[in-house]
Chain A
Amino acid sequence: MKILSDIAALLTGMWITWKHIFRRPVTIQYPEEKRTPYPRYRARIVLTRDPDGGERCVACQLCSAACPVDCISMQPGEEADGRRYAEWFRINFARCIFCGLCAEACPTLAIQMTPDFEICKRDIMDLVYEKEDLLIDGCGKSPEYNFYRHAGIGVTQQRGEGIEEKRPVDVRSLLP
């Protein structure tokens, strides 16, 4: 009987509606109410510092190469002690899709994603973040890593005194 199955369908729908009316809501009254995202949430990007307080970013351009929307640009430079760093570093958050590939590519753990997703501006140009807007005063995740302690180019310690290094060889020695 077609009419009976139609009534059954109507009642089922009604039952679901009423069931949900008495459930606890899943939505919240954002922005009055806020929810804390998980620590691994991928939102606003920061540049972190190493445990010694130095800038971690060495401007190696791997993040900008990995970025699928090309929103990272920078200019590497050299400090007096031979340290490679970013003279300027820019992320265009109007373009960023928060995929996290930059953070994955970064060999120094400098660039990291934070859970801060509240980046809205009235002027789109304000979404272009420069190094001073990105650089934070902390290590973020992985607080113990300092790339220059492992790199072997004598920036944070003398050459040959890094963690995985032997003392420099004496070329003029004839000993075996």
Chain B
Amino acid sequence: MPKLIIDNIPVEVADGVTVLEAAQSVDIPIPHFCWHPALGKAGACRVCAVKMVDGPVKGIQMSCMLPAQDGMVVSTTDPEAVAMRRNVIEWLMINHPHDCPVCDEGGECQLQDYTIAGGHGIRRYSGTKRTHINQDLGPYIEHEMNRCIQCYRCVRFYQEYAGGTDFGVMGSAGRVYYGRFEDGQLESPFSGNLVDICPTGVFTDKTARFKARYWDYDMAPSVCPGCSLGCNTTPVARYRELLKMTARRNEAVNGWFICDRSRFANDAVNDPQRPRTPLIDGREASRDEALEALLLRIAQIEELYGSGSIAVVGSSRLALEGAALLPRLAECCSAGALCYFTSQEESDRTLPLIELLSSGKPASQRDVRESDCIVVCGCDPLQKAPMLALAVRQAWRNGAAVYVVPFGSAQGTEGVQKSTILQMNRWLSGVEASQEPKRLYDAISVHSLDAVPLADAKQPVLICSATNAPDRLAETLEQQSNLKLAVIFPAANSYVAAQLAGAHGAVSLEHAVATGKIKGIIAVEADIPPQLLEGIPFVAALDWRMTETVQAAQIVLPTTAWVEMDGTCINNEGRAQRFKKVMNPGVPVRGLDPAGHPPHIHRTIPPGGEPQPAWQTVAALIEGLCGEQITEPLSGKWERLQELAAESEGVMINDL
């Protein structure tokens, strides 16, 4: 544990920590471009210079390259160090174009910040600047090479951290160029992180090109609904349009990055077809009218077909707040069935796994990154939960052994199903089920779980998918006490759905409909296959997406998307995480008059801004049915989650 003094402040840090990190630990900022917590040091930018006044090394040193040692006396404010940093920034700016006003990084640019903070406010060099020809990197990422300051972050991320091979650094001397061999879409499903990681505007998000500036953004801490991992994000919105998704740091979960499936999936929220007005039999109505009509229909159905003819259906994408109220709603309308799953098979497979996870040891993405032995069992994490594959790669880079056990459906079709965004990445379209994702990590293929030398491993992790879990999972976990389990569930909130289904004795909708008793369905953000709706006289849908169920419903009550509300989700480990409201619901300003400017009208609620979070509509129904007022959806078992902070690492619900 070296002890050193930085700017007269004594600091004690762990072995191997750099002077730069030691300074950060006591809130002394040192400018840096090439150093990044997830990528480590490169010593390329020379901007983190400090003066070593006393101790084992003396003079000007790069603080990112120097491990902290006992007896060091560091000055970040020494005139020599300050002059060095100012000069380095001036060199970096010599070739930098004069284009901040038309650069999407402007306002959130590390180069801008450090140029001003470093004291280089006025250009002295009046010679000509080197220029580059840009590449077309596909529909998601814009390339503007003139802005590059040669920090090497992009290549270090792309090749080392994410295992990409189609992007790199070329050229020599003043000509170094960061790009592909030829124009074309970046192949890595993590390519979007270049936007976050580049400290300048070389890589910017093309889907949000020329849309807004940092100081105008609507932002809030959020959680990705793309898969069951619950990676942390910061969505960015402006004028009621979701512009882009950025990664948010959570060391226990995603670290610093997110996958492209999350980053480039804003269309669902911005979809002009989204239901925004309540509908009664296809006629537009107010929210109160629609609620009243729904209560009336519920009463009619019960009168006609008797009690127990309504099914209340949730889903595995519904946030905890809404899902936790459904049992009460089911009671209030004396429903015949409470369902969180439509398919019996999914329900049967998910429930036991949740039980196992809540009694066993769930593995977080951090556990995977730090593991020394990983068994990937009958699934391809790259397709179902991309960041998990990236976590496996980090463990593999640190020397972990990765075993792959193909079995069950993995030998057949599992993995062929590709999400739309990832399909566009050529990387994945080439990966067939028989081909394990070799490019991210080398794996040893074994025929069964018994062939894996688990007993020798210190922190082993088993990764499997809920759709194809191995049979003797419980036994294996019991035998191997240090084995942790990471399950990939089909949807973001599968854990919530299965938890509540287990606790409240819910059945699958398939099963409920098969009894023939169900005559009315209240679908809360549920995607019900059309064949299950056949012969059901009444369907009401609460949803923010234009699903088939919404189209089939007689009464539609729009709800808010996750970026338009506060809520809680529980990821595949049972980690509850809070997401905050990013923007107000409503038709995007852009959609009001696409050709011209926004209309000159005063309004308190924007057009299409009436939808409420699903749980509030469910609470209104409960109030209408049994007069009970619910102001706080998280009660009972969930009460402690009320205080959950969005910026925290989340809370394991096993600890509640």
Contacts and interface: CB of A to CB of B under 8 A. Distances in A.
Interface in A154-175: 159-160, 164-174
Interface in A40-87: 58-62, 64-65, 75-78, 84
B170 interface: yes
Nearest to A126: B600
A129 to B, nearest CB: 10
A164 B210 contact: no
B283 interface: no
A172 B100 CA distance: 28
A9 interface: no
Contacts of B418: none
Contacts of B107: 61
Interface stretch (A31-39, A95-103, A113-121, A144-152): A144-152
A153 B213 CA distance: 19
A138 interface: no
B494 interface: no
B100 A76 contact: no
A9 B212 CA distance: 66
A135 interface: no
Interface stretch (B40-48, B172-180, B389-397, B563-571): B172-180
Given A61-B213, A153-B97, A88 B598 contact: yes
Nearest to A150: B98
A21 interface: no
B538 interface: no
Contacts of B596: 88
Contact of B175 (A59, A125, A130, A170): A170
B128 interface: yes
Interface in A118-136: 125, 128, 130-131
Given A61-B216, A169-B130, A108 B597 contact: no
B101 A58 contact: yes
Interface in B172-223: 172-175, 177, 209-213, 215-216
Chain B interface SS verdict (over half): loop
Contacts of B215: 61, 65
Contacts of A159: 131-134, 146
B200 to A, nearest CB: 14
A25 interface: no
A72 B420 CA distance: 39
Nearest to A92: B600
Nearest to A106: B101
Contacts of B172: 174, 176
B600 A152 contact: no
A164 B173 contact: no
Interface string B341-368: 0000000000000000000000000000
B439 interface: no
B407 interface: no
A71 to B, nearest CB: 14
Nearest to B134: A159
Nearest to A76: B210
Interface in B207-248: 209-213, 215-216, 239
A125 B97 contact: no
B216 A171 contact: no
Contacts of A84: 101-102, 210
B597 A130 contact: yes
A122 to B, nearest CB: 15
B171 A151 contact: no
A118 B394 CA distance: 67
B590 A152 contact: no
A67 to B, nearest CB: 12
A110 to B, nearest CB: 10
Contacts of B170: 171-172
Contacts of A170: 175
A77 B209 CA distance: 8
Nearest to A147: B101
Given A60-B101, A65-B215, A84-B102, A176 B171 contact: no
Contacts of B175: 169-171, 173
B589 to A, nearest CB: 8
A169 B171 CA distance: 10
Contact of A131 (B97, B597, B600): B597
A75 B239 contact: yes
A153 B216 CA distance: 24
Nearest to B106: A60
Contacts of B177: 169, 171
Contact of B131 (A75, A165, A172): A165
A152 B171 contact: no
A153 B100 CA distance: 11
A78 B213 contact: no
Contacts of B623: none
Interface in B581-617: 589-590, 596-598, 600
Interface in B105-159: 106-107, 126-134, 144, 146
Contacts of A153: 97, 99, 102, 144, 146
Q: Name the 5 nearest CB pairs between A and B, nearest first.
A: A88-B597, A60-B101, A152-B97, A160-B131, A171-B177
Given A147-B101, A168-B132, 16 more contacts: A58-B101, A60-B213, A61-B212, A61-B213, A76-B210, A84-B101, A88-B596, A90-B598, A151-B99, A159-B131, A165-B129, A166-B128, A166-B130, A167-B131, A169-B177, A171-B170
27 contacts: A58-B101, A60-B101, A61-B107, A61-B215, A64-B216, A65-B215, A75-B239, A75-B590, A76-B211, A78-B209, A84-B102, A88-B598, A89-B597, A90-B597, A130-B597, A152-B129, A153-B102, A153-B144, A159-B131, A164-B126, A164-B128, A168-B132, A169-B175, A171-B132, A171-B171, A173-B175, A176-B173
